[in-house]
Amino acid sequence: MPTFVAALFTPLLTIILPLFGLIFAGFACRKLGKLGPNASSELNRFVVYLALPALLFDIMARTPWSTLDQPSFIAVFGIGSGVVFVVTVLVRLRQSRHLADASIDGLNAAYPNTGFVGLPLCLLAFGQSSLAPAVIATIMTVCVLFAVAIVMIELGLQTGKHIGTTMRRVAKSLVTNPLLIAPLAGALASGAGLHVSGGAEAFLKLLGGAASPGALVALGLFLGEKTDARHAKTASVLVALKLVAQPLLTWWLAFHVFALPPLWAKTAVILSALPTGTGPFMLAEFYRREAAVTSSAILFSTLISLVTVTLCLTAML
């Protein structure tokens, strides 16, 4: 087992290190003045309005509804991430954090990088049969959890004197939000049996493929513009929740409450142990919220996960 884990650690580095390479590319461009102070926000808007919607639509359109018929796995992964998200939001609200910022902090603690890191890592560790649970977890993370956070952010921002006015503003923002419309449209296309092919498929692949790299470069640009150590304590707590609390809760649910099949249980735990994805940073930048905590949480969780994910794999294999 140790030999296998040692052999797995090198490929894990090849998955994680490109993340840092993209972050450093943005960081260097900002520090060297090759990209201006608005580059991070503008690149992030490209990701939010074009690249990520294309990726979300493509994922949902290519996923048959029957693939999602795994209630026990959905419950395990959903409760694991949902509890961490809700607890984090409630604690941050008690600390007088704005609902929009508390929602982003909730994502920092509960939003695993299932797409960019999880899919190749599961394929490497558990083989082809682990891709089904990995895809379900990705959909739950980038569509469901992401959508819940967006709704809460909108509720926090669209405040009015009357509840009716507030709800109308929220509804208007939601129905025009590409990060909600795209996966819904993809799900409807899948349910209707429509298949995207030819030039349309190539278009979605090219545009969607720019989502993760674009977000990581934007993160690097932001880090090159702002460095603030005041948020280190908060970020460290969020990282601990992400890399320790969430996988432990998921492990308990997978093995002792729902008794998932071994492969599905192990995959759920590994996916929950992944570092924070770029989704929270996209929302922080898009909604013009303070992104210092978020950028630190993503950066540190990705670095520390080299150790924690390897330990988790050692226990699972």
Tokens (6 digits) for 289: 């919220």
Give the Cα separation of 294 and 128 in Å (integer).
Answer: 33
From first to last of its 317 residues, the chain has per-residue pLDDT tens of 555 556 666 666 777 778 788 888 988 998 898 888 888 888 988 988 898 888 888 888 888 887 778 899 999 999 999 999 999 999 999 998 999 999 999 999 999 988 778 877 887 778 878 878 888 898 888 888 988 898 899 888 876 556 666 677 767 777 777 877 888 888 899 888 888 888 888 999 999 888 888 888 888 888 887 666 667 788 999 999 999 999 999 999 999 999 899 999 999 999 999 999 888 988 898 888 888 889 889 888 888 888 898 888 888 76
8 A C-beta contact, residue 65 and residue 190:
yes
Give the Cα separation of 54 and 225 in Å (integer).
Answer: 28
Residues sharing a CB contact under 8 Å with residue 209, sequence separation 6 or more, in sequence order = 51, 55
Give the Cα separation of 308 and 291 in Å (integer).
Answer: 25
Fold exhibited by the domain 36-316: Na+/H+ antiporter like fold (1.20.1530)
pTM of the shown model: 0.82
Angle, helices 2-31/211-225, rounded to nearest 10 degrees: 60
Checking phi first, is residue 180 left (phi over 0); if not, alpha (psi -120 to 50) or beta? alpha
Residues sharing a CB contact under 8 Å with residue 317, sequence separation 6 or more, in sequence order = 1, 4, 5, 125, 266
Give the Cα separation of 215 and 235 in Å (integer).
Answer: 19
How high is the pLDDT of residue 7? Answer: 60
Residue 112 DSSP code:
B
DSSP 173-217: HHHT-HHHHHHHHHHHHHHTT----HHHHHHHHHHHTTHHHHHHH
Distances (CA, A) of 83 to 69, 111, 240, 251: 22, 12, 15, 14
How high is the pLDDT of residue 227? Answer: 60
